[in-house]
A = this chain, B = another copy of it.
């Protein structure tokens, strides 16, 4: 594990939100860390391959990375300010498994994101 990869992992550990490679690169640099953008991409790729981080495609095509949390959960995101709440619920999990099983699908995974306007922003 090189200095740079360790730095990327540590940076990821600071926040539980999904963040882009470029954002992580910028933070590392502004913290005085000497690292190249290419290396950040490679580190994230390697961590994703090893199952240590989740990768998500945002709507604008940018990839977002997050350290894998042990418990499975979803996100409630404010459209205006971006505030994110981590949520979980048996109901969705069961529904996803059932609907997939009903159609003969195996190895089921799912993505669920809920969007809205948070209390602060609607005030």
What residues make up the interface of A, taking CB atoms closer than 8 Å to B?
A: 57-59, 61, 63, 76, 78-79, 85, 87, 89, 91-92, 94-96, 99-100, 103-119, 122
Cross-chain contact B117 with A107 (CB below 8 angstroms): yes
Cross-chain contact B105 with A116 (CB below 8 angstroms): yes
**How far apart are A104's CB and chain B's nearest CB, in angstroms?**
3
What is the oligomeric copy number? 2
For residue A119, which residue of chain B has the nearest CB? Answer: B104
Given A100-B114, A105-B114, A107-B122, 15 more A-B residue pairs with CB atoms under 8 Å apart are A57-B61, A85-B103, A89-B95, A89-B99, A96-B114, A100-B116, A103-B119, A104-B119, A106-B116, A106-B117, A108-B114, A108-B115, A111-B112, A111-B113, A111-B115
Residue in B59, B79, B95, B107 whose beta carbon sits within 8 Å of that of A91 in the complex: B95
**How far apart are A75's CB and chain B's nearest CB, in angstroms?**
10
User: A58 to chain B: which residues have CB within 8 Å?
Assistant: 57
